[in-house]
Structures are given as C-alpha cells and as structure tokens.
Amino acid sequence: MKYYSLEQQSPKVSFKNAVIQGIAPDRGLYFPEKINPIPQKYIQNINDISNHELAYAFINQFVGNDIDANSLKHIVEDTLDFNFPIVKVENNVFALELFHGPTMAFKDVGARFMARCLAHFNQDNKKEVTVLVATSGDTGGAVASGFLGVKGVNVVILYPKGKVSEVQEKQLTTLGQNIVALEVDGNFDDCQRMVKNAFLDKDITNVRQLTSANSINVARWLPQMFYFVFAYKQLENKTKDVVFSIPSGNFGNICAGMMAQQLGLPIQQFIAATNANAVVPNYLETGSYIPINSIPTISNAMDVGNPSNFVRIQEIYNNDFELLKQHLQSYSFSDDETRKAIKKVFDHSGYICDPHGAVGYLGLKQYLAQFNDLQGIFLETAHPVKFLESVEPVIKETIAYPQQIQEVINKKKVAINIKSYDELRSYLLD
C-alpha cells in the first residue's frame, strides 16, 4: 500500500514511511492510494467473528507488506485488550463507551497501535525517533501511556496552559522516562502550528527523526475504524439503519468511521457534533471553509478552529461538496446546551455523559428528530471523571476516581513552560 500527500507535491511512500514521517514534506496529510472493500463475509457473519479478527481484516490492507501478518495480528491483539461496550440510553439511542483503556479516552487505541508499529519498525534501528505531538486534552495522556518505555522512541507533548483538565494534565506530565511535556502559553491551534513548523524545519529534522502522534499520523488515525465495527457488531437489530454521531474536534475519529464505511460497514449517516468551534457546520451550510481562532469550551478536546483531518474527509468524497453533504450532517452546540444534555440524560436514565459525549448525544437527537425510523450511536470519547469540574455540578453527585486515575492524580506535575516556536526549536535542537 502506498500513501500520497493530499498536497500532491511529495513522492508516494509506504505505510512505514508515512508513519515515521507523520506529515509529508509538502505539509500534506498522507492518504492511502486505494481503499478496497473487505469481503462481505466479515459483515454478514460479524457476530461470529472475534474483535481481533475483525480489526485485522479492516487494517491489513493499509499496512500492506510493511509488517508481516503474524506481527500485525500481535500488534492488534496487544492494542485491543479492553472492551468497547454500547449502552442503551434511550429507545434507539446508544452510547459507545471508548474509555475503558489505560487513560480512559478513545485515543488509547490509536496511540497504542502506533506505538507498537513504531517499536516494530525501530527494533533493528539504532537511530532514535522523536514523537512530537500537540494535544487539546486526551491525546497527550494516551500518547504518553502508549509510548511509555518504548525503546528508541522519545515523546514530546505540547499542551495549552490552563486549557486541559487536571486529570488530563496529570496523565501527560507525571510519567517521566521517555515522556516530556511542554506547557504552551496559547491555545491548541498554537500547539498544532508549532508542531507542523517543526516538521518543516530542516535544522531540526537534520538532527532528529521526527514523527507525529496526532491523528494526522496514519497509524493514529486508521485504527479508529475499529470502534465503529465493534459498535455495529453489538447492535441487536441490524435490519434498522444506523447513524453515528461523533463529537468532533480535529475530525480524525469521524474520518476513520467514514473509512470503515468505505470498506463496507453499513453506516447510513455521520453526524459531526461540535461545540462553539463550528467551522464544519458553517462550511456545510455556506460552502465556505473559514478557519477560526479556537474558542475555549467545557468540551475542551474539541476546541479546534482548523480541523486537520477535514481534508481527508473531502478526499474520501472526491472533493465533491454535494456528495459530502449526503453523508455528513454537522451541528454546533453551546456549553449551556451541553450542560442541559448532561443533566437530561442523567435524570432520565442515570447515565453520566462527559461533555464531549453530551455534544454527540445532542447531535444524534437533532438528527433523529427528523428520521425516527433509524437507530443511532453517539460516541462517549472519555470517562466523565476527566471533567469533574463540568459534570459534578450538573448532576450534583460525586464521581469516584477509577483505578486508572487514582494511579496518577496525586503525582507531581513536571512540565516545561514555553511561549514561542523559537523555544520549542531550541529545546529540540539542544
């Protein structure tokens, strides 16, 4: 399998090189040259096939010959050692819980898969790789956990000061070893801009082998297909069409779901539910894609004013605006609406949504109000304990720390404060 840059100004590369490079030299995101639907037996007999076998079937073509079959199967099994349950919240409304991994966020899957791929590629390589990543919340913790102790890999995480929750910050600043956290005076877009600039800085890349663990990296992005497959598998009624509502920030998760659809998973519709950062809802309404400065919200992992992965979504639908609109609806919701949704769901069912899941729930409900003959799944992308300051005052109950959080919450934060790209550059060149 070859990958090409969406900027069309760089040579095609293998999966291995796409993973190691992270982003193409022309600043474009890598995209697979082909998308071949998987054999229909995997869909028709999905209940009889293990999650590991399904995941391998969906990811195998994108890895190609760069990882042998036995090693790839082992990577998949090692990545997916926790559950992805769907929970009925209302009639025809289900929550897909993606927070049962080590950092209690959906990004555990992509981070673990990528870490294991890099470890495989680096096993005979004496040159160290530096994973450089920006986070708006959960990516940092997932990457830190996924790459902790991986031989030959150093991790540098940039996060916006004061704009991640306490739990999220502790998960990315307390592990030590090969993990370094840089606390940036700015927002997520500033962090992401610094990371992209570093990849194009030849003074840095001449002395450090950089790669990214954001969803711009194909090994972080593509494994997110698995969630959608596992959710569909669990539906009791597979004769009723299903829609997915995805709380969306950088749009990697929803883009992976669209890839699963391209491979044959029968998904009727995608809903991109956003907070006040309504770039994509505005685009679908007006036809004009206008990035904004990101707006802080209580669903902070979605505070993205220029979603990197949206260009991949456009590529999936051949940059055909009308075709894209047939498959994607997008709605924006305020913090006040998000809090009301958390309270409504809790009062009616006892289920506790985190702010991101609540946005996904709102998007799903808005769409199902127009089409009551469908069933829908919204993604619960992180455990509500990671957003106590937003959730507990709404439900008026205390949420206990799960074991994964107890292990880090009382550890000392260790981070380096930076204000500019020059300071990041100096750090990487030191």
Active site positions, annotated: 107
* Cα atoms in the Cβ-side hemisphere of radius 13 Å centred on 98: 30
Task: Say if CB 248 and CB 307 are below 8 A apart.
Answer: yes
DSSP 8-state class, residue 238: -
DSSP 8-state class, residue 382: B
Q: How far apart are CA 204 and CA 22, in angstroms?
A: 15
Task: State the DSSP string of 276-288.
Answer: S--HHHHHHHHS-
Q: How far apart are CA 69 and CA 123, in angstroms?
A: 17
Continuous H helices in 148-246: 166-173, 188-199, 202-205, 218-221, 225-234
Angle 388-395/166-173 helices, nearest 10 degrees? 150
At 131, phi and psi to the nearest 5?
A: -85, 120
In single-letter form, the type of residue at position 66 comes to D
Q: How many C-beta atoms surround the C-beta of residue 201 within 10 A?
A: 17
Task: Say if CB 323 and CB 334 are below 8 A apart.
Answer: no
Q: Which residue has the tokens 């883009």?
A: 255
The secondary element (H helix, E strand) that includes residue 405 is helix 403-406
The secondary element (H helix, E strand) that includes residue 262 is helix 252-262
* Cα atoms in the Cβ-side hemisphere of radius 13 Å centred on 286: 9
Region for 71 from its dihedrals, namely left if φ exceeds 0, alpha if ψ lies in -120 to 50, beta otherwise: alpha
